[in-house]
Amino acid sequence: MTKKMFKEAITTLKALKSSDIELTDLCIHMETTAGEILELDIELNETGELIKEYNMWENEEDYDTYLNTDPEEIPENMLLN
C-alpha cells in the first residue's frame, strides 16, 4: 500500500508542478502504522533560498504538543525527536 501512496503523491506533485500555482511552502504529513508522525516541510525564505525541515514524533500526543507550543518557547538548537 505504501508504494501506491507514494506513486499517487508523486503524480499529484508533478501535476502541481505543471500548473500555474506558485507555492511558498510545501508540507508533507505522513503517519506510520506504528503511530509515528513524520513531516517534511520545504519552504522558500524571503531571498528565495530553500529551507528544508524534517520532523518525527513518536505519537500523536507528541505532535499535538508541538503544534500547541509557542514557537518562541522552543530553543533554536532543540531537536524535536
The pLDDT tens digits of the residues spanning 24-80 come to 899 999 999 999 999 999 999 889 899 999 999 999 999 999 888 876 665 555 555
**CB-count exposure of residue 80 (10 Å: 0-12, 13-18, 19+):** middle
Structural domain boundaries in the chain: 22-81
Residue 33 and residue 54: Cα distance in Å, rounded? 19
pLDDT value of residue 67: 87
pLDDT value of residue 7: 95
Residue 8, pLDDT > 70, answer yes
Q: What's the grid cell of residue 67?
A: 503544534
3-state DSSP assignment of residue 81: coil
Tell me the whole-structure pTM to 2 decimals. Answer: 0.72
